[in-house]
């Protein structure tokens, strides 16, 4: 295709995930707020601060959905530019679901932002072409996580930053218990009421459970060739930021 990404229809996981997001794209933002009690906004603020977008940078937000992270990056880069000058940043939102991209365009972008349909496992970008790569609540849905990490490494310039914000493992037993009750019982029910789609939210909860915990995922990022990989737990490890450097 013109974007140069592979046929992503192969594989059951891909079809399932796409079905989930097709059915929820419109009520997606509301569901995020309900599921996390609004806390996902604070997690996203923390992740954006960690990425530290700078003027003149090319920032790629993969599985960018409706552009939540990209809007933050654009505003932060522009604020820094107003303080100390420099070129405009470029923030690319990439998502393989055109419905999410369209919902994001409808919400409105920032001047730095461009929208692209493409696959995390075969990024339609040249080697060493971006300063920062981010993926927020997206990587656990990708059919081949190692392949997505390899692609992240490929498109980053030397010295570039990798950032992943994702659900992870609560660090204490008590919190894990409360969280299990909330996610296994409440989230599918809320998904049924709000999005009329209990099964999709059941699938989301299970995908969180299957995703590797902090240390395992850190090791995967290191295996992909990133250096100085660090983990920051958010809300006691309900979510985590993984950050690394392409050296």
Residue list, annotated binding site? 66, 95, 119-120, 136
Asked if 69 touches ligand SAM (CB under 6 A), the answer is yes
List the 156-167 sheet strands across, edge first.
113-117, 90-95, 58-62, 130-136, 156-167, 239-246, 227-234
Q: How far is CA 68 from the centre of its chain?
A: 10
100 binds ligand SAM (CB under 6 A): yes
Work out whether 237 is an interface residue with ligand SAM (CB under 6 A). Answer: no
CB of 84 to ligand SAM, least distance (A): 28
Nearest-approach distance from CB 174 to ligand SAM, in angstroms: 27
Out of 74, 81, 116, 141, the only residue in the binding site for ligand SAM (CB under 6 A) is: 141
Instruction: Indicate whether 115 belongs to the interface with ligand SAM (CB under 6 A).
Output: no
| Beta carbons within 8 Å of 2's beta carbon, 6+ residues apart | none
120 binds ligand SAM (CB under 6 A): yes
By CB under 6 A, residue 167 contacts ligand SAM: no
Which one of the spans 51-59, 96-104, 177-185, 189-197 is the region binding ligand SAM (CB under 6 A)? 96-104
Binds ligand SAM by CB under 6 A, chosen from 27, 97, 147, 233 = 97
Residue 241 binds ligand SAM, judged by CB under 6 A: no
Candidate ranges 63-71, 125-133, 154-162, 185-193; the one touching ligand SAM (CB under 6 A): 63-71
Say if CB 135 and CB 120 are below 8 A apart.
yes
Contact assessment for residue 153 and residue 226, using Cβ atoms and an 8 Å cutoff = yes
Please tell me whether residue 133 binds ligand SAM under the rule CB under 6 A.
no
Cα separation, 196 vs 81, in Å, equals: 44
Q: Is 195 a binder of ligand SAM (CB under 6 A)?
A: no
Q: Where are the alpha helices (DSSP H) in the chain?
A: 12-24, 28-36, 39-51, 68-84, 98-107, 145-155, 173-181, 187-194, 198-210, 214-223
Residue 117 CB contacts under 8 Å (≥ 6 apart), including other chains:
3, 94, 95, 96, 97, 98, 101
Q: What is the largest CA-CA distance in the chain?
A: 50
Q: Which residues bind ligand SAM (CB under 6 A)?
A: 17, 21, 63-65, 68-69, 95-97, 100, 119-121, 136-138, 141-142
């Amino acid at each position: 295709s013109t974007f140069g990404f592979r046929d992503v229809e192969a594989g059951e996981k891909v079809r399932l995930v796409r079905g989930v997001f097709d059915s929820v794209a419109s009520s997606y933002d509301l569901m995020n707020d309900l599921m996390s009690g609004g806390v996902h906004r604070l997690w996203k603020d923390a992740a954006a601060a960690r990425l530290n977008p700078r003027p003149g940078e090319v920032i790629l937000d993969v599985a960018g959905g409706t552009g939540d992270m990209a809007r933050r990056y654009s505003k932060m880069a522009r604020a820094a530019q107003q303080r100390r000058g420099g070129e405009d940043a470029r923030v690319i939102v990439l998502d393989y679901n055109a419905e999410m991209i369209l919902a994001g365009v409808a919400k409105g972008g920032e001047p730095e932002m461009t929208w692209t349909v493409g696959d995390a496992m075969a990024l339609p970008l040249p080697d060493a072409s971006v300063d920062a790569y981010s993926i927020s609540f997206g990587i656990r849905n990708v059919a081949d996580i190692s392949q997505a990490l390899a692609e992240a490494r490929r498109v980053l310039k030397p010295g570039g930053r990798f950032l992943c914000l994702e659900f992870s493992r609560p660090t204490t037993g008590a919190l894990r218990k409360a969280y299990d009750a909330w996610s296994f019982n409440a989230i599918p029910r809320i998904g049924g009421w709000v999005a009329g789609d209990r099964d999709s939210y059941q699938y989301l909860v299970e995908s969180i459970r299957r995703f590797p915990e902090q240390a395992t995922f850190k090791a995967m990022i290191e295996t992909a060739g990133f250096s100085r990989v660090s983990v920051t737990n958010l809300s006691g490890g309900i979510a985590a930021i993984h950050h690394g450097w392409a050296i």
